[in-house]
Structure 1
Amino acid sequence: MGRVEELRDQTVWKSDPHTQVKHLVYRHYLQCWMAKILQTFPEATIVDAFSGPGVYSDGPAGSSIVVAKTFLEHTAHRRFGRLNLICLEERPDRVEELQRQFTELPQSPQLKVSIQPPGAFAEQQARLASLAHLGRPETPVLWLIDPFDLKSAPFTSIRQCLGGPRDEVLFTLFTNELHRFCQRDGFDKTMTGYFGGTHWQTAIAERRAGTRKEAFAAAYQQGLQDLGLFTGGFGIKISNQSARYHLILATHSEAGLKCWAPVTWKLDSYSGQGASADTADAPSLFDEASVVDRLDVALRAHAGTEQRWETLSSEAARLNHMDKHLRKVLDHLAAQGLAIRVDPVKARTAWPEGSTVRFYAPDDVADEAS
């Protein structure tokens, strides 16, 4: 079954490395946002407007669970004010699974989870905004908008999410689909609704896939900036492929950008920006027969699983390799999107002792036709 069919037909579907990178962005940003907002205000809200079932079939947590865990595991959470987490999902079967996933989490009086009845974001936005602000427009609200398609999150809905003075949006912009479909007959109306205007057309002049996708991201940010908002963008891509999609931050305050900038720098190596078409031919240890070939093969065999550092280190030792060889191979696999550190969120090095690594197969990172 293909990924499109999985998303359409199954309650729970398999994760992919792009999703893991996106959730790392979420976790990094939430660490900072929570520390700033929840130690300043007595109460704040996060709305996960496309919650999904809360878990992937191969084990990783979904976005709502990521938010809750980030709160519960935050080193400063005992000093936090109250966090209201509002979750919306359109399909009843996924709502039921999401409810089940939350029952497995520890309870905290500082965290209130409100799973809404099944509903569509564009139809429920006004009601969600009312719930999120608690009757006070100044209540800080962070919206996570990660739709399945272009039509589910029109620009008018995104703009409405930013109605309060302390509202922020973290939006998934489908730049790959925009590049592929922007010149299809009759698609211009969808594009204009998605961008809130015709300024998207400036990107069409770009012919290269990567350049055009970046232009679409810039155009979307410009539409938000025209509303007087501060914005940031981050391309979610693997290896030297162009971005599959972009995460766009919209905020009323420069303080939001103070949290955003460190995220993009910390996750640069995860996004594949360190390996581009311009540097792909550069010589490296892996261009010739290497002493780490056997370890490379062994680690690739972990595709589809998460492995603790202790297990990987032991495996490397059995193959007569040291930890420095293990880290070198993990760097090589990460550049291809085949290895992602999923824990800890913050670390001084890419592969610290005690870390957890998720592995993927080459088919998992294969880009769609562009």
Structure 2
Amino acid sequence: MPAPKDVIWPRDPHTAAKHALLRRYLQAWAPIMLSHNEVITYAEGFAGPGVYVGDEPGSPVIAHQVLAGALRRSPRRVKMVLVEESARRKAELERRIAAATNTSHSPMDRLDVRIAQGRCHPDLLQQLALAGSLRHPMFVLLDGFGGPEVPFRLLEQVAARHRSSEVMVTFQPAFLMRFAGKDEHHRAAGDTFFGGDDWHGVFQQPSSMKAAYLRDRYRESLRRAGFQHTLVFEMVDESNHLLYLIFGTRHERGVEKMKEAMWVVDTTSGVRYRDPKDPNQQALDLVLEPDTAPLRRILLKHLRDVSAARSVDQLKKYALLETVYRPTQVIPLLKKMRDDRDIDVSPGRIIGTSIVAAVRQGALF
């Protein structure tokens, strides 16, 4: 979406879904990090005004609520570093954070909020340095307006400062797909975003593959920046607008907790998820008994692509690191696949060390 001109604007379905996911993840992240660190930091490079037209809270206010709650159960300290380019939106954000502080029952002397006017880069790093946050674990939300707005250099700096730091970046591929092939300025912005020109191969891709190509190149960029594990959420709203929400971490536990957050988020926002690796690109309903047909297709394709058997533990790790599904969803599915004679399992009982091989060579179902 283009950057709004008003101080506040309506909350779109993508934003509602992102905020639900953010709240759930921070509710898991904050207690874990506070149990191991004296100080942690939550940061945003596109903080916004902290509120939407319908009085829904923005991400900084959501984070403040969660972190204040976490401090009621911990003696440690939390810092928030929020950067917003617009002076009017910064002023509104200050009012919203002040209101949240006044209604909180947490020890506010241990929740230090720094709000600065500036651009995501280089001002966010400068403010993090001034706050003393670069020495501690950070969760950095870089939720712009969908274009290539986050420099690769910023990701490198966040990753380099503390190995427990994590990032979440939003990216709408439509902008680069539409404009970068014709405009040198937009191509240069893409180079800054990806940290190189490897993404230029998108111009040779068929239209149906362009978005996935950019998605995969950006996952590679995050890994080059220093985030060993990446998780991509494909969010599609009712108008079929695509948004990638890309999470970077060095820890498998971070991936696991982010997935747990995803699978307990309701879908009342009108946005549904898709697994990037599902050949059929089926939208997912996040329900108590989820449809695992996409995971079935993904595992069969993986077994055939590698042309080798895999242990159950290997398939669970693959599901964790390469799909939006959770490892706990693998074994029940493998039992169904064995009963349907899609796979062979040796020995017959499905445990972590069991060996799994695909037996059907037809079309994916």
TM range (shorter): 0.5 to 0.7
C-alpha displacement of 1:11: 0.9
Choose from 151, 154, 170 the match for 2:151. 154
Corresponding residue for residue 261 of structure 2? 263
Residue 141 of structure 1, aligned match among 138, 148, 151:
138
Alignment correspondent of 1:41: 37
1:255, 1:279 → 2: CA distance? 26
Distance 1:124 1:228 in 2: 21
Structure-to-structure mapping, 1:317-328, within 5 angstroms: none
Structure 1 residues 268 and 163: alpha-carbon distance in aligned structure 2, compared to 1, 3 A threshold = farther
Match of 1:357 in 2: none
**TM-score, with length taken from structure 2:** 0.66
Corresponding position of 2:298: none
| Cα distance in 2 between the residues matched to 1:279 and 1:216 | 16
Q: Residue 109 of structure 1 is aligned with which of 107, 110, 114? A: 107
Aligned in 2, Cα 1:161/1:132: closer, same or farther, shift over 3 Å? farther
Is 1:91 aligned to residue 89 of structure 2? no
**Equivalences for residues 259-338 of structure 1 within 5 A:** 259-267=257-265, 271-273=271-273
The answer for the alignment partner of 2:176 in structure 1 is 178
- Assess if the C-alpha contact under 8 Å between 1:240 and 1:273 holds in 2: no
Q: Which has the higher contact order (CA 8 A, sep 6+)?
A: 1
Which whole-Å CA distance do the structure 1 matches of 2:15 and 2:170 have between them? Answer: 11
Does structure 2 conserve the Cα–Cα contact (< 8 Å) formed by 1:171 and 1:249? Answer: yes
When normalised by structure 1's length, the TM-score is 0.66
Contact 2:148 2:171 survives alignment (8 Å)? no
RMSD across aligned C-alpha pairs, in angstroms? 2.9
Q: Distance in 2 between matches of 1:11 and 1:240?
A: 25
Identify the residue that residue 351 of structure 1 maps to in structure 2.
none
Alpha-carbon distance between aligned partners in 2 of 1:213 and 1:22, rounded to the nearest angstrom: 20
**Residue identity opposite 2:64 in structure 1:** A
Structure 2 counterpart of 1:82, from 72, 77, 81: 77
In structure 2, do the counterparts of structure 1 residues 277 and 13 end up closer, same or farther at CA, with 3 Å as the change threshold?
Answer: farther
Deviation at 1:226, TM superposition (A): 2.7
Between stretches 185-194 and 52-61, larger displacement belongs to: 185-194
Unaligned 5+ residue runs, structure 2?
Answer: 288-365
**Structure 1 residues 49 and 113, CA gap change in structure 2 (3 angstroms):** farther
Matched position secondary structure for 1:20: helix
Counterpart residue type for residue 98 of structure 2: T
Count of matched residue positions in the alignment of Structure 1 and Structure 2: 272
In the superposition, relative to structure 1, how do residues 20 and 53 fare at CA in structure 2: closer, same or farther (>3 Å)? same
Q: Deviations over 1:15-69 (max 9, x none)?
A: 1111101111211211111121122212100112211110001121111001011
- The equivalent residue for 1:120 is 119
Letter in 2 for 1:100: R
Contact 2:155/2:225 (CA < 8 Å) preserved in 1?
Answer: no
Q: Against the structure 1 CA distance between its residues 195 and 277, is the aligned structure 2 distance closer, same or farther, given a 3 Å change threshold? A: closer
% same residue: 24
- Listed one character per residue, the Cα deviations across residues 217-253 of structure 1 (whole Å, up to 9, x for unaligned) are 211011122344221111222248252x211111222
Residue 271 (structure 1) shift: 3.8
* 2:8 paired with 1:9: no
Give the secondary structure class of the aligned counterpart of 2:36.
Answer: coil
1:206 pairs with 2:205:
yes
